[in-house]
C-alpha cells in the first residue's frame, strides 16, 4: 500500500509543554484494546496510577479531571505516560493526533489536522504548493475509476489556486482533507460547498496577512467543526454556519 503525506508533514513535532491548547485536555480519549492490555499489565506505583486513570465503562477511556484534563497530563503540560514509559506506551489516539488518514483502494493519504496549533503553524507558513511525497510503497497503484476521477479533479482545483500565501495553504488543506470523503458517501457537491464555506468563515475579516493569526482562526474552526462529528455533518449538509 502506498502511503502519501504532504511535503511539510515530517516537519511537524508536538511542542508539548509549549502548547497553549494542549490536545490532552477537553476531549475524551478512548483507549484501543492493545494499549488497554498494556496498561493492565503495568505494575508498581505508576502502573497503579495508570489503572486508576482508566474507566472501563463503555469504550475504555481516560477519566478526565474536573477541568477536563487527561489524568496523566502533569502540571508542566507533559504526558507522564511518555515520561515513565516512552512514546510507545501512548494509546492509538494519542499516537495519531493530530494526523488524519484518507483511504483509497491502493493508497493512503495522511495529513495534519488544523486543530493542533503547531500543525496549523507548519501548514500555513509553508512556502510552496501542496505536494505529496511517498512514505511507503513502490508507487504501483490500481485505483478505481471514481478515485482516478476525483484525484484528477482535485489536482485541477489545487492548480487553479494562487501559488503563495497562508490563505492558499488553508484552502489546499481543506481540499486535501475533505474532498476524498465524497468517495464514501457520494456527496461531492456538498463537500465542495462545505470546503468553500469553511474557507470563507475562517478568512472573513482576516486582513493582517500573518500565518499565525490565520492559524489560530483555523485551529478554532477545526476544533468546533472538523473534530465534532455532529457539527461537521451539519456543515456538510448545509445547516451549519454559526460557531
Ligand atoms: S495540540 Fe499539537 S502541539 Fe499541542 S499538545 Fe497536542 S499535538 Fe502537541
Residue 21 C-alpha to ligand 1 middle, in angstroms? Answer: 7
Do 125 and 11 lie in one domain? The reply is: yes
The tens digit of pLDDT for each residue in 52-68 reads 999 999 999 999 998 89
Query: Can you tell me which atom of ligand 1 is nearest the CA of 115?
Result: 1
Q: What are phi and psi of 83, to 5 degrees?
A: -65, -40
Residues 173 and 88 in one domain: no
Grid cell of 105 as nine digits: 483502494
Ligand 1 is surrounded, with C-beta below 6 A, by 14-16, 19, 21-23, 97-98, 116-118
pLDDT of residue 243: 65
- Among 46, 79, 96, residue at a domain's last position: 96
* Residue of the CA atom closest to atom 8 of ligand 1: 14
Q: Which pLDDT band, with edges at 50, 70 and 90, does 238 fall under?
A: confident
pLDDT of residue 163: 82
Q: Which residues of 2-22 are buried (b: 16+ CB within 10 A; e: fewer)?
A: bebbbebbeebebeeeeeeeb
Mutation to probe ligand 1, out of 12, 16, 123 (largest number of atoms < 8 A from CB): 16
CA 62 from chain centre, in angstroms, equals 20
Same domain, residue pair 212 and 160: yes
pLDDT tens for each residue of 191-219: 999 999 999 999 999 999 999 999 999 99
Domain count, the chain: 2
- The answer to the question of residue 243 being in a domain is no
Looking from the CA of residue 15, the nearest atom of ligand 1 is 3
Domain containing 70: what range? 24-96
Amino acid at each position: 500500500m502506498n502511503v502519501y503525506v504532504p511535503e511539510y508533514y515530517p516537519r511537524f513535532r508536538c511542542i508539548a509543554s509549549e502548547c497553549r491548547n494542549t490536545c490532552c485536555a477537553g476531549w475524551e480519549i478512548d483507549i484501543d484494546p492493545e494499549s488497554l492490555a498494556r496498561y493492565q499489565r503495568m505494575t508498581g506505583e505508576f502502573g497503579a496510577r495508570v489503572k486508576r486513570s482508566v474507566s472501563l465503562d463503555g469504550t475504555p477511556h481516560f477519566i478526565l479531571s474536573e477541568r477536563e484534563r487527561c489524568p496523566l497530563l502533569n502540571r508542566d503540560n507533559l504526558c507522564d505516560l511518555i515520561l515513565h514509559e516512552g512514546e510507545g506506551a501512548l494509546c492509538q489516539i494519542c499516537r495519531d493526533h493530530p494526523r488524519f488518514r484518507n483511504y483509497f483502494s491502493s493508497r493512503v493519504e495522511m495529513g495534519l489536522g488544523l486543530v493542533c496549533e503547531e500543525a496549523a503553524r507548519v501548514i500555513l507558513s509553508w512556502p510552496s504548493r501542496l505536494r505529496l511525497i511517498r512514505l511507503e510503497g513502490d508507487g504501483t497503484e490500481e485505483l478505481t475509476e471514481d478515485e482516478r476521477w476525483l484525484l484528477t479533479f482535485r489536482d485541477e482545483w489545487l492548480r487553479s489556486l494562487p501559488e503563495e500565501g497562508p490563505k492558499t495553504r488553508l484552502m489546499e488543506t481543506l481540499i486535501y482533507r475533505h474532498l476524498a470523503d465524497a468517495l464514501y458517501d457520494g456527496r461531492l457537491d456538498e463537500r465542495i460547498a462545505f470546503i468553500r464555506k469553511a474557507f470563507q468563515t475562517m478568512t472573513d475579516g482576516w486582513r493582517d496577512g500573518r500565518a499565525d493569526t490565520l492559524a489560530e482562526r483555523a485551529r478554532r474552526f477545526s476544533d468546533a467543526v472538523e473534530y465534532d462529528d455532529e457539527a461537521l455533518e451539519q456543515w456538510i449538509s448545509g445547516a451549519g454556519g454559526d460557531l
